[in-house]
Amino acid sequence: MAQILVVEDDHDLNTAYRIILEHEKHVVETAYNGEEGLKKLKDFTPDLIVLDLLMPVMSGIDFLNEFRNMTSHAKVLVFTNLENSKEINEAFRLGADKCVVKAWTGPQGLLKVVNNILGTPATAKK
């Protein structure tokens, strides 16, 4: 069981990811853009952040820019529909641990990649 923050602007997907992850007994908090995600981090200490990239108010890239200056052990799974894009390279440069295309990844795929990331030892980000 892990603590997971889902940052995803699409309400349908946000809800689906919460259901899927809670089904596996993870503790899930949700946010609908990067700014909300940063606010959640004040009271919630996730082991993993599932992060969309293109979002209104604050994008996933801007979130990562802020997040990398915070002390957190959370891993970051970028879960986006962008592929073969500069944003993905930028996300890795800013410390993302893994990047997966949402449209190719069903519930089992999401759980598999989440478990893979959580299975690796966490390192403090600073």
* Contact residues for other proteins, defined by CB under 8 A: 10, 12-13, 16-17, 19-20, 23, 54, 80-87, 89, 102-104, 106-108
Nearer to other proteins, 39 or 83 (CB): 83
103: left (phi over 0), alpha (psi -120 to 50) or beta: alpha
Distance (Å, whole) CA 106 – CA 108? 6
Nearer to other proteins, 90 or 122 (CB): 90
- Written as one string, the DSSP assignment of 29-63 is EEESSHHHHHHHTTT---SEEEE-SS-SSS-HHHH
Nearer to other proteins, 41 or 88 (CB): 88
Closest approach, Cβ 60 to other proteins, in A, equals: 11
Closest approach, Cβ 83 to other proteins, in A, equals: 7
DSSP class of residue 103?
G
Q: Which segments within the chain are labelled E, that is strand?
A: 3-7, 27-31, 48-51, 75-80, 98-101
Closest approach, Cβ 12 to other proteins, in A, equals: 4
Closest approach, Cβ 126 to other proteins, in A, equals: 27
Nearer to other proteins, 21 or 74 (CB): 21
